[in-house]
Amino acid sequence: GAVVSQHPSWVICKSGTSVKIECRSLDFQATTMFWYRQFPKQSLMLMATSNEGSKATYEQGVEKDKFLINHASLTLSTLTVTSAHPEDSSFYICSARDGRLNTDTQYFGPGTRLTVL
């Protein structure tokens, strides 16, 4: 199978602090990972595309200095929410592209629920 893990599964922090979320592909190498955000009762919104060994590509309207992405290896990408504020509270989900298939199938991690007080 294709398993993607995320850590932590939930986090509560105070306003102004930074939070790091890890995304790992456990049984395959992922040269590309994606970070999404989902607010209640809304669909997934792509934040950025993370490529191993290069800078992430951010979607329009996403602040790259606030949402720092590092894809240091073929199995790990991290998202750091810097100086988090209550409006950043959301469900953050990563996905990893399984390059073994030619269809660009993405497998999702279980998500991280961030609550900023």
Residues forming contacts to another protein in the complex (CB under 8 A) are 32, 34, 42-44, 46, 49, 91, 93, 97, 103-111
**Shortest distance, position 32 Cβ to another protein, whole Å:** 5
By beta-carbon proximity to another protein, the closer residue of 14 and 61 is: 61
By beta-carbon proximity to another protein, the closer residue of 66 and 108 is: 108
Coil/strand/helix, residue 86:
helix
**Shortest distance, position 62 Cβ to another protein, whole Å:** 14
Q: How far apart are the first and last CA of the chain?
A: 37
By beta-carbon proximity to another protein, the closer residue of 88 and 98 is: 98
* Three-state SS letters, 44-97: CEEEEEEECCCCCEECCCCCCCCEEEEEEECCEEEEEECCCCHHHCEEEEEEEE
**Shortest distance, position 37 Cβ to another protein, whole Å:** 12
